[in-house]
Structure 1
Amino acid sequence: MYPAPLDSPTRPPGSRAALVAALLCVPSLLLLLLVSMKWRPLLTLDGDIARTTHRWAVSDPDTTQTFRVLTDWVWDPWTMRALCAVACVWLAVRGAWWLAVWLAGACAVGSALQQSLKAAVDRPRPVWPDPVDSAHYAAFPSGHAMTAAVVCGLLLWLLRRYQVSTAVWRVALVIAAVSVLGVGLTRIWLGVHWPSDVLGGWLLGAMTVALAIATYAYWPGSRGADGTAASAAPR
């Protein structure tokens, strides 16, 4: 079984993605507001979870080291951006120039949104007397979590568009889910993000993907030089 096509003859192009984006916008803005207002129940919950996971990280150095490798190399934002760049080159080689530009632009918009929110909210990161890792810049939203959500979400849409086989689709779906969830959990475990930073990254990343898909229907050459319909699903 596969997801239904994004659009149908009776539904305007990108309408379902636009609806998803609108729905995701609500919890994203609510969480942003609560973090900005320093809502005490949220801060208390963040602190309780962070202190617990930090104790686990200190007492289990082997797992902590594994998570550091995963977060710094496998799921690092620059690794994700490199994966996106490879996809853009592949599309360009196939002659789908407009699609390659759209994919690069969507990832760039996601990065710009992430950095803008970090600067605007300017939330301090957790501070520990015995840190197991370090990170720079403001905490909200988690750049690792948001970048992984944006890149994995867009690449899944791209695979669906190119009608990959059932086996490839399922493997890609599992890898994407493990990557997005896994990188968020490593950031909390390593004590460099509050849980709500990661949740914000996931929500904002998913919203960015939905907005990008919604706008693609109106992008020049939206059917691409390869002739693949934007709403095609894998078979």
Structure 2
Amino acid sequence: MVVRATAQRLRDSRRRTADRRFGIHLLGSAAVAAVAAVPFGLLLVLIEGQWRPLRRLDVGAARRLHATALGHPAWTDTLRFLSDRVWDPTTLRTVVALLTGWLLYRRAWRLAAWSAVTAVAGGLIGLLVKMVVERARPSLVDPVAHAPGFSFPSGHAMTATTSFAILLLVLLPMVPRAVRPLCWCVAVVSVVGVGFTRVALGVHWFSDVVGGWLLGLAVAALTTWAFEAWRTETGRGPAPLKEGLEPELTDPEPELAPATPAAPDRPGQSVSD
């Protein structure tokens, strides 16, 4: 009886610790989503209200960067290559689709579902907001690039935000700890860089790019919150985000690893031995 009571206390203690960690993760994800969503809503109100300081910032950035693009053709070609090839939404979505397929191959069903839902939700929400806001793109004399559709939010910026969030949170468990800061730097530089290229090429206002970043961050935070809840409900504790969403991904079959069964009591043996 003593051993059984002690074991029960240990299980209760671990459960309380897991619950506290889960609560912290839920609050953290909700806070990130709120921090991203509130400024996005405010930004949208300012754009719809034609707030002059924001309008001056948008126009000033567009004109200065457009003048630089006209005066430096080689620089402009580099921006086009990065925007239309390396950080193009089609390229990033293809990478995420391949990653999702690999997760399905590994039988990491939940993580594959999270990856797909985050990518698809980000694309659909961005398209819906574009159709509702219907903001015109910059109209510049002698433009160096063209883009179809409406302007707000930037699809490139939003796709980069959600895609690199997916790549980081899925692949971090397989990356050595010493290399992880470099992965974060590459992701941040890419997300910021794609926004810069869109403004520098004159196809988006600065506020379009900021809106894409904020909305993409909100989508990634909300789906991550849902994944943490899902993970806990299926019997696994929440994982620190610095370890990725599913640290068990390094196991041969992360979704199929059975729990270690408790050893049955042997007949005639006292439980207090």
Q: 2:45 is matched with which residue?
A: 33
Following the alignment from structure 1 to structure 2, what is the Cα–Cα distance between the partners of residues 67 and 154?
A: 24
Provide Cα deviations, 1:166-198, integer angstroms capped at 9, x if missing partner.
233223212211110110000011000000001
* Residue 118 (structure 1) aligned with residue 127 (structure 2): no
RMSD over equivalenced CA pairs, Å: 2.3
Q: Secondary structure at the match of 1:218?
A: helix
Following the alignment from structure 2 to structure 1, what is the Cα–Cα distance between the partners of residues 93 and 18?
A: 32
User: Which of residues 77, 97, 108 is equivalent to 2:109?
Assistant: 97
Provide Cα deviations, 1:88-147, integer angstroms capped at 9, x if missing partner.
012111110121022101111111110011011100001112010000100000000010
Following TM superposition, by how much is the alpha carbon of 1:163 offset from its aligned partner in structure 2, in angstroms? 5.6
Give the conservation status (yes or no) of the 8 Å contact 1:81–1:151. yes
C-alpha change, 1:223 and 1:50, in structure 2 (3 Å) is farther
Q: 1:59 is matched with which residue?
A: 71
User: Which of residues 195, 198, 206 is equivalent to 1:195?
Assistant: 206
User: Which of residues 142, 150, 159 is equivalent to 1:147?
Assistant: 159
The amino acid of 1:89's aligned partner reads G
Give the conservation status (yes or no) of the 8 Å contact 2:231–2:238. no
C-alpha change, 1:228 and 1:159, in structure 2 (3 Å) is farther
Following TM superposition, by how much is the alpha carbon of 1:221 offset from its aligned partner in structure 2, in angstroms? 8.5
Following the alignment from structure 1 to structure 2, what is the Cα–Cα distance between the partners of residues 221 and 44?
A: 48
Q: 1:180 is matched with which residue?
A: 191
Structure 2 unaligned residues grouped into runs of 5+? 1-16, 248-273
Q: 1:10 is matched with which residue?
A: 20
Q: 2:178 is matched with which residue?
A: 167
* Residue 211 (structure 1) aligned with residue 222 (structure 2): yes
| Identical columns (%) | 42
Give the conservation status (yes or no) of the 8 Å contact 1:99–1:222. no
The amino acid of 2:219's aligned partner reads T
The amino acid of 2:134's aligned partner reads D
* Residue 231 (structure 1) aligned with residue 240 (structure 2): yes
Following the alignment from structure 2 to structure 1, what is the Cα–Cα distance between the partners of residues 242 and 152?
A: 35
C-alpha change, 1:8 and 1:23, in structure 2 (3 Å) is farther
Give the conservation status (yes or no) of the 8 Å contact 2:18–2:237. no
Following the alignment from structure 1 to structure 2, what is the Cα–Cα distance between the partners of residues 147 and 52?
A: 26
Following the alignment from structure 2 to structure 1, what is the Cα–Cα distance between the partners of residues 64 and 47?
A: 20
Structure 1 unaligned residues grouped into runs of 5+? 1-6
The amino acid of 1:27's aligned partner reads P
TM-score, normalised with respect to structure 1: 0.89
Give the conservation status (yes or no) of the 8 Å contact 1:216–1:222. no
